[in-house]
Amino acid sequence: EVQLVQSGAEVKKPGESLKISCQPYGYDFSNYWIGWVRQTPGKGPEWLGVIYPGDSDTRYNPSFQGQVTISADKSIRTALLQWRRLKASDTAIYYCARGISGHPLDAYDIWGQGTMVTVSS
Amino acid sequence: QSVLTQPPSASGTPGESVTISCSGSYSNIGSNFVHWYRQFPGTAPELLIHKNNQRSSGVSDRFSASKSGTSASLTISGLRSEDEADYYCAPWDDSLRHVVFGGGTKLTVL
């Protein structure tokens, strides 16, 4: 079964760092774009960026560039989303999702279950 | 505040058809494919329609979509109680240089 499995919920303090992961199953990790989307309760999703694990080509939403880092480690078949200094406003559910084709702007057909990140002092 | 406008709510009775609109501009809907997602409470979004009108694998043919100019729409025919969910349109925006999501439409089946 094709699926994406994300790491578990995190509770952090402002200023702390964090890395969350997204692990693919059932398909060739290197050959599909992986996007990251965040969602706060009661609001629509926001697109953070996308990465092609095959060559680590990465595109960011300009609003989030410099705020988060998207990466992929082919050796452990894992996509990562990380923060150096968290803010309370980073509190959200973060989803990874697989691009349906080889184009970075295409739709996402497989989604992870989401990782809840809570940042609070 | 999204650059895409969706009605916050829509409703219909079982068996009816409902259409959800998504209004944007030339830089997003006018120039790029529109994708549609459905989201049930507490779960991840799921892809219904990609590239304006292509149903995702396994999606019922009760779901159809179209695009004209700077607007797109999703139609659900033969409405069922299990269609109650939030629906989002999501094209790329050339000016903003990122994927944009509509504000979402909460569908209620009366």
Residue among A46, A61, A111 whose CB faces B44 most closely? A111
Beta bridge partners of B66: B73
pLDDT confidence tier of residue B104, bands split at 50, 70 and 90: very high
Q: How far apart are CA B34 and CA B19, in angstroms?
A: 15
Q: How far apart are CA B85 and CA A14, in angstroms?
A: 33
Q: How far apart are CA B104 and CA B102, in angstroms?
A: 5
Cβ contact, residue pair A45, B45, below 8 Å: yes
Whether B73 and B9 have beta carbons less than 8 Å apart is answered as no
Looking at residue A29, its pLDDT comes to 93
Judge whether B44 is closer than 8 Å to chain A, CB to CB: yes
Q: How far apart are CA B19 and CA B6, in angstroms?
A: 11
pLDDT single digits (tens) B18-67: 999 999 999 999 999 999 999 999 999 999 999 999 999 999 999 999 99
Examine the pLDDT at B93 and tell me if it is beyond 90: yes
Examine the pLDDT at A117 and tell me if it is beyond 90: yes
Provide the CA A20 distance to its chain's centre, in angstroms.
Answer: 8
